[in-house]
Amino acid sequence: MSVNLLQGAQETGSMSIKLLQGFKEADTFEKYALVAVIIVALLGLVYAAFLARQILREPEGTDRMKHIAKAIRTGGNAYLKRQFRTIVLLIFALAVFIFFTGYVGGEVIKSEYGNPKWLIGLGRAGGFLMGALFSALVGYIGMNMAMQGNSRVAEASRTSFTKALKIAYRSGTITGMLTDGLGLFGGTIIFLVFFRDSPLVLIGFGFGATLLALFMRVGGGIYTKSADVGADLVGKVEKGIPEDDPRNAAVIADQVGDNVGDCAGMAADIFESYEVTIVSALILGVLLYDVTHELHWIIFPLLVRAAGVLSSIISTYSVRALREGENAMKAIHRGYLFAASISITSFALFAHFYCDDLRFFYATAVGVALAVSIQFITDYYTSTERAPVKEVAKSTKTGSATTILSGLGIGYESTVMGILAIAVSIGLSAAIWRHGGAGTDQILYIFYGVALCGIGQLTLTGNNIAMDSFGPIVDNANGIGEMSKLEPQARQTLADLDAVGNTTKAVTKGIAIASAVLAAVALFAAFYEDFGLEAINLIQWKVFVCFLIGGAIPFMFSALTIRAVGRGAYFIVNEVRYQFTHVKGVWEGTVDPDYGKVVSICTAAAQRELITPALLAIVSPIVIGFLFGLEALAGFLAGVILVGQLLAVFMANAGGAWDNAKKTIEDGLYGGKGSEAHKASVVGDTVGDPLKDTAGPALNPLIKVINLVAVLAAPMMLVEVSGVWKQRDLSAGIYAVIVLGILAIIASIWFSKRAEAFGREETEEAGEAREA
Amino acid sequence: MSVNLLQGAQETGSMSIKLLQGFKEADTFEKYALVAVIIVALLGLVYAAFLARQILREPEGTDRMKHIAKAIRTGGNAYLKRQFRTIVLLIFALAVFIFFTGYVGGEVIKSEYGNPKWLIGLGRAGGFLMGALFSALVGYIGMNMAMQGNSRVAEASRTSFTKALKIAYRSGTITGMLTDGLGLFGGTIIFLVFFRDSPLVLIGFGFGATLLALFMRVGGGIYTKSADVGADLVGKVEKGIPEDDPRNAAVIADQVGDNVGDCAGMAADIFESYEVTIVSALILGVLLYDVTHELHWIIFPLLVRAAGVLSSIISTYSVRALREGENAMKAIHRGYLFAASISITSFALFAHFYCDDLRFFYATAVGVALAVSIQFITDYYTSTERAPVKEVAKSTKTGSATTILSGLGIGYESTVMGILAIAVSIGLSAAIWRHGGAGTDQILYIFYGVALCGIGQLTLTGNNIAMDSFGPIVDNANGIGEMSKLEPQARQTLADLDAVGNTTKAVTKGIAIASAVLAAVALFAAFYEDFGLEAINLIQWKVFVCFLIGGAIPFMFSALTIRAVGRGAYFIVNEVRYQFTHVKGVWEGTVDPDYGKVVSICTAAAQRELITPALLAIVSPIVIGFLFGLEALAGFLAGVILVGQLLAVFMANAGGAWDNAKKTIEDGLYGGKGSEAHKASVVGDTVGDPLKDTAGPALNPLIKVINLVAVLAAPMMLVEVSGVWKQRDLSAGIYAVIVLGILAIIASIWFSKRAEAFGREETEEAGEAREA
């Protein structure tokens, strides 16, 4: 087993610190280009700050509106603070572990320049902290800007559709530009400082971002859907009162949930996708630099990203309704197409004039094509205009059971289309790079192509996030409008904007999942190349067994998150019921319910459920690697990628189809609101909620956390025996690690299952006695 | 690429026909053993005939009971006849194709004895037809015996619990012994006639059995669940009348469905599992015989099977309640344990005295242990006594949506446990055979061990099928009891037996799926060995891409079957509604509804939906193999196996949990029948039905059909170039095959989606007008 990261390691023993080497090897154009990339990244951040100032100057509306908006802000920030407090210790503990993967593992992964082990370890741990911090910042600031935007959108809706749209879209754009700016800045700076050593550091950076995103996705997802499902069950289904009815104690928690889940969680997740695609491209790019000694393998992806950021700045600022009442989706789409044309043109120019190799262009163009086809597939399976949603809507006529069945069938079918689109992209990448080189090198070229495809796909992240954040902002604005009893015309404007928000959200989700798989595939290849595996041979029993276990992980993870939502919703239903029956005046609407109580139940429930899935993601690859070796670990990764993608898209699209089937019925089909068909459609939507907003999207960061942990921890699984790297034997210490790891997972599952109740619940006897 | 099947091929060009070689090479003990195996197989068939005579002598009950039983028999046989007519042409067309895989492919797969190509092709095609015929026979006779048993069980229930139990169990045992007898006879005869050439023929035999099982599972599954879901929706949910209420026009179709799905479909499926485990063991056994020149690699599995058949004969005949009213499950379990102890003892004796190698014993014992752990897992996740079903039951209190969510969570978790059990079994097999030999041979030993594990797991097939068939028989008896308005005491006896039937069914299903995966894994290894692949290397892009596509197949297949049930149920609901409202006297109960109309709707719907999934299974491996080559095809197979197992167990156990949660509520929990919790639990059960009885179980034969098609068609994908076998280039002819294959699948999907309606449906306007 030869270890590529070791290639060219200087055995001179020189311990001089060599940084910023990359800049020395760059030609003049490349030097300017790198500086330009940094400037563009900073420009993105400045643009975000500029938009924030603009938003904050807008009026917040009536006192009632301010009051509600403040309650949402308080809840959202209380949640994030508690979340950060829960994980901060783990993050620092992991930083130490990561330092050691660089230091102890430094026997295997040596610096190219003879930089000392402590420097590599420090860089890696520092990169990890920076990644986690950036991810947290994007989530935190993004959520807060959304929570500032919501009441302002509601206020603007009272006077002007155009203005409401602009405020909503720009509030979302802030998050988008933060993602763009911080993502590009982080990756480029690390490359500039560490150059040929940068893969060792970038992997830490990517891991920090992804891990934090995992926490934000899982915690936020459980929070938002516990609140949403709980509020719907007790309000819409049980009591027959409208969504956002102020008598329902869970409505504020539901609003908070939109922010912590759909804003903070989603922003951190897309930031992480944006990050990991560039990390995987740079890792493979550096390996190609070793082969070809050409720097464009590394600089091209950075330039592409910079072009994307610039396109996003220009195009997002141009988004506005051309006339009062124009379909908002049209305005947003116009901006997107504008951005796409700027970036694609620039890819072609860079590929031709700088790389002198159009394959770079083709590869990124495949990524854009993939984004378009994912958008098409998502649209086909979840749009109210197409056959699948119509089929689900029709099945509501025969009750909830057929509604669920048709949604499952459609979800299954859609995930087939999704994975075929990815398979075709990988195939095209292979077709483009098939002459890349011979033997192992060909693999390197092909998977570099896959990484470029991921880069291309996420080019317009700024626009995507702007579109996605738009969803929860207008959803919140709509809720505030309902709770503040705004004028009918304003309510109509907000409802129209809300409907657009649902479409934009579904599309972003599909793109995020596809990019997760491309990034994971590129990391999978990086793992293979870095540790010089000869093959990942499925006929070896260890590989096959671990491949089976890998496939089980996404199911286990989804089981944990879905059941967590179920438990959370159960507590909320009980609390709201308690307030309806035991607190005088709540049901009559004369007294405000205790919103804060439900907010704190959600917060506590989400925290408790957070640790198990994260532990599963971090511990499982380590246990597998130590126990069965690196080749088997690669088999494990393949199983995770395959099943993760299939489950994630199934859950996202089934959920989307149910959601929109409900909408078509609420718009009057089959009897409209209040009909039996409507009740069935609400059941479908409620089942779909945790699938599409908790379990499904949390699989993105899961897939990548597992791949990154594998790359990080692999060096510790190897030991040098007379010049050859081989699998470390199973010593007592390693057995201890394995046993402890497995015990930690089991203990954590046991802990999260413990039926500790939050909130107040009538005892069954008391309830029955009262009813009798 | 060396081709193992070619090894030792005699280039003498002698065209003499050499058959029955195996008998010549056997020692005296082995000769006696082979004769004994054949005698035991025939004994199993004689025992089945003996039981059938016994059952047919029992009284059929009142005229009303006879009338209903006859209606069910007519429906069931009409269905099977139409089913066989639909597929008989395809079977013969495939027989020709299979002859050619032996004949044209004969360049690659050469006879060991220089037997002429036409003989190999003929043997293979003949084996295929025999497999299909046996599978059909098991389904047909098994179903008919069940349909003879049902009214006799109902009649016996009026006088004696003990007698009712005995008749039900023995009617089921007939199917079990047919499976055992025909399965063992077929495999052994082929081995005796073709010996070293038998792998070439056995693969045809296995394919025939599996393909027919796929049709029976898919067709029967769609039939039974369309009828069941349709009957429940319109009866229990919409009209609030009990299950099996004679006014419901769908009740006879529902009863027929139990027979065509749970009896005929299940019997054919288990027959096929029984068959393919022995086929895979013999194929790998023959390869090991080539290496070691010891015949026990082949004869041991046959002996193990014979011991199992004998144990089943003795133990099933001993099953009876020890005293009136004893728990039926106890009596059945006693028989099972008795059989298990006889067989395990005999495994040890054979391994020690005949093979002189206890590894044979350990490997089969691992199979038995796997069967026990699957039984434990299934029981844990689906039994009314354990936490998961209690959790689902509790979630019914908050409505259908939480019921569905908790069932999904539990199904996800249970499939993780299922695949871990299989992973551990493969790991143990590897531990047992790790010193088997070096290099490639070690792989051969390990996967031979996996095949033995599958053999061990299915040892007691006779008992398992007896237990499984017991389910639909008592279910039917219960229905006949309800429709004939039998005495309350008889109804109670039948209800008790019915509850036991539900448990026995769930367990068999789990074992069938696990055995499917073990058999598929062994075939996967046989594919690798037969065509001398050097590796199945996931880092090769073709392998990775096909692996992704393979993972999509079970989802696509399940989408097709679930949606087929949804469509079928929709037609039935409309027909029953029509009869309620437009046929005078039906709703009042003064006139029998037109049961036959619903039966024929189910039959037609199932036929139309049958072809697409089968085509997907047959065509996809051929297209993949021609387009991307054998190594990529192996990657495709791995994806199918992984995702197939995960989805199948998820759907089976989620369905089982919902079903039993409903039962606990019907037994009085949370308000019992008629409560809101009960309504929610009915939704759960209705969603679970097609998952656990159509889509899930149909994945067993799917996984194996795909693996077998790969092995069958692979030789046609190779071409000899100066003595080396390599992938055939993409010629115009091959492109035509690929394009035609893909077009056939697309056309077939389009055809099955065409919303051609069966039955009568009120136009929406007419219905609304009437309601208004």
pLDDT at res. B531: 81
Mean pLDDT of chain B: 85
Contact between A539 and B535 using a beta-carbon 8 Å cutoff: yes
**Is the minimum CB–CB distance between B415 and chain A shorter than 8 Å?**
yes
Tokens standing for A611?
Answer: 């640790």
Chain A residues with CB-CB distance to B370 below 8 A: none
**Is the minimum CB–CB distance between A428 and chain B shorter than 8 Å?**
no
Name the closest residue on chain B to residue A409, using Cα atoms: B559
**Is the minimum CB–CB distance between B401 and chain A shorter than 8 Å?**
yes
Distance of CA B96 to the CA centre of its chain: 25
Contact between A552 and B420 using a beta-carbon 8 Å cutoff: yes
Mutate to test the interface with A, among B386, B529, B537, B541 (most CBs of A within 10 A): B541
**B128: pLDDT strictly greater than 90:** yes
Q: Which of A738, A328, A728, A374 is nearest to A531 (CA)?
A: A728
Say how many C-beta atoms besides its own lie within 10 A of residue A732's C-beta. 7
**Is the minimum CB–CB distance between B547 and chain A shorter than 8 Å?**
yes
**B66: pLDDT strictly greater than 80:** yes
* Residue B257 parent element (H or E): helix B251-257
DSSP 8-state secondary structure symbol assigned to residue A160: -
**Is the minimum CB–CB distance between A624 and chain B shorter than 8 Å?**
no
**Is the minimum CB–CB distance between A752 and chain B shorter than 8 Å?**
no
Distance set, CA A112 to CA A7, A18, A125, A193, B662 (Å): 8, 10, 18, 13, 65
**Is the minimum CB–CB distance between A237 and chain B shorter than 8 Å?**
yes
Measured distance CA(B95)–CA(B129) in Å, rounded: 7
* Cβ proximity of A101 and A124 under 8 Å: yes
Contact between A570 and B395 using a beta-carbon 8 Å cutoff: yes
pLDDT at res. A772: 46
Name the closest residue on chain A to residue B426, using Cα atoms: A545
**Is the minimum CB–CB distance between B668 and chain A shorter than 8 Å?**
no
Nearest chain B CA: its distance from A442 CA (Å)? 10
**Is the minimum CB–CB distance between B400 and chain A shorter than 8 Å?**
yes
**pLDDT tens-digit profile of A397-414?**
888 888 999 999 999 999
Chain A residues with CB-CB distance to B698 below 8 A: none
Mutate to test the interface with A, among B405, B636, B659, B768 (most CBs of A within 10 A): B405
Chain A residues with CB-CB distance to B401 below 8 A: 229, 233, 237, 400, 682-683, 686-687
Q: How confident is the model at residue B109 (pLDDT cuts 50, 70, 90)?
A: low
Q: How confident is the model at residue B478 (pLDDT cuts 50, 70, 90)?
A: confident
Nearest chain B CA: its distance from A553 CA (Å)? 8
Chain B residues with CB-CB distance to A682 below 8 A: 401
Chain B residues with CB-CB distance to A446 below 8 A: 541
**Is the minimum CB–CB distance between B559 and chain A shorter than 8 Å?**
yes
**DSSP of B177-228:** HHHHHHHHHHHHHHHHHHGGGHHHHHHHHHHHHHHHHHHHHHHHHHHHHHHH
Q: How confident is the model at residue B663 (pLDDT cuts 50, 70, 90)?
A: confident
Name the closest residue on chain A to residue B404, using Cα atoms: A687
**pLDDT tens-digit profile of A684-742?**
998 999 999 899 889 989 999 999 999 888 888 887 777 677 777 778 888 888 898 88
* Residue A726 parent element (H or E): strand A724-727
Distance of CA A696 to the CA centre of its chain: 10
Percent of chain B with pLDDT over 70: 91
Distance set, CA B502 to CA A489, B221, B236, B565, B593 (Å): 57, 16, 19, 21, 29
Report CA dihedral (A72, A75, A80, A83) to the nearest 10 degrees: -150
Measured distance CA(B690)–CA(A732) in Å, rounded: 49
At which residue do the structure tokens 């610096």 appear? A111
Q: Which residue in the set B402, B409, B552 is minimally distant from A559, CB to CB?
A: B409
pLDDT at res. B325: 61
**Is the minimum CB–CB distance between B639 and chain A shorter than 8 Å?**
yes
Contact between A536 and B541 using a beta-carbon 8 Å cutoff: no
At which residue do the structure tokens 């902290």 appear? A129
pLDDT at res. A12: 40
What's the mean pLDDT in B453-479?
A: 86
At which residue do the structure tokens 């039937």 appear? B501
Mutate to test the interface with B, among A548, A561, A754 (most CBs of B within 10 A): A548
Chain A residues with CB-CB distance to B521 below 8 A: 544
Chain A residues with CB-CB distance to B533 below 8 A: 539
Q: Which residue in the set A398, A426, A548 is minimally distant from B541, CB to CB?
A: A426
**A448: pLDDT strictly greater than 60:** yes
Q: Which residue in the set A237, A412, A555 is minimally distant from B559, CB to CB?
A: A412
Contact between B559 and A642 using a beta-carbon 8 Å cutoff: no
Mutate to test the interface with A, among B640, B642, B669, B699 (most CBs of A within 10 A): B642
Tokens standing for B187?
Answer: 């495999």
Tokens standing for B291?
Answer: 């290496």
ipTM for the complex? Answer: 0.91
**DSSP of B636-669:** HHHHHHHHHHHHHHHHHHHHHHHHHHHHHHHTTG
Chain B residues with CB-CB distance to A528 below 8 A: 539
Nearest chain B CA: its distance from A520 CA (Å)? 13
**Is the minimum CB–CB distance between A637 and chain B shorter than 8 Å?**
no
> What ranges in A487-629 are assigned the alpha helix state H?
488-530, 541-582, 595-628
DSSP strand pairing (A724-727 vs A718-721): antiparallel
Q: Which of B38, B39, B41, B35 is nearest to B181 (CA)?
A: B41
Distance set, CA A51 to CA A56, A149, A153, B590 (Å): 9, 11, 14, 75
Chain A residues with CB-CB distance to B542 below 8 A: 430
Measured distance CA(A41)–CA(A187) in Å, rounded: 10
Interface A-B, measured as beta-carbon pairs within 8 A, has a size of 239
What's the mean pLDDT in A132-142?
A: 92
For chain B, count helices (H), then strands (E).
Answer: 23, 2
Mutate to test the interface with A, among B232, B236, B392, B416 (most CBs of A within 10 A): B416
Window 473-512 of B: residues touching A by CB (8 A cutoff) are none
Helix, coil or strand: residue A743: helix
What's the mean pLDDT in B58-73?
A: 87
Percent of chain A with pLDDT over 90: 27
Chain A residues with CB-CB distance to B399 below 8 A: 233, 237-238, 683, 686
Mean pLDDT of chain A: 85
Q: Which of A166, A485, A433 is nearest to A324 (CA)?
A: A166
**A152: pLDDT strictly greater than 60:** yes
**Is the minimum CB–CB distance between A552 and chain B shorter than 8 Å?**
yes
**B84: pLDDT strictly greater than 50:** yes
DSSP 8-state secondary structure symbol assigned to residue B575: H
Contact between B540 and A443 using a beta-carbon 8 Å cutoff: yes
For residue B657, what are the contacts with CB-CB under 8 A and spacing of at least 6?
Answer: B381, B382, B388, B389, B392, B407, B410, B411, B414, B688
- Rounded to 5 degrees, φ, ψ at B248 are -80, 120
pLDDT at res. A22: 66
What's the mean pLDDT in A547-560?
A: 94
What's the mean pLDDT in B330-352?
A: 85
Nearest chain A CA: its distance from B323 CA (Å)? 40
**DSSP of A396-424:** GGG-HHHHHHHHHHHHHHHHHHHHHHHHH
At which residue do the structure tokens 């193999």 appear? B625
pLDDT at res. A765: 46
**Comparison of pLDDT for B419 and A331, the residue scoring more:** B419
pLDDT at res. B363: 92
* Cβ proximity of B288 and B445 under 8 Å: yes
Distance set, CA A103 to CA A190, A706, B566, B731 (Å): 18, 21, 59, 55
Chain B residues with CB-CB distance to A386 below 8 A: none
- Rounded to 5 degrees, φ, ψ at B100 are -70, -35
Measured distance CA(A762)–CA(B541) in Å, rounded: 58
Measured distance CA(B689)–CA(A622) in Å, rounded: 39
* Cβ proximity of B322 and B166 under 8 Å: no
CB burial class (10 A; 0-12, 13-18, 19+) of residue B16?
A: exposed
Q: Which residue in the set A399, A446, A569 is minimally distant from B541, CB to CB?
A: A446
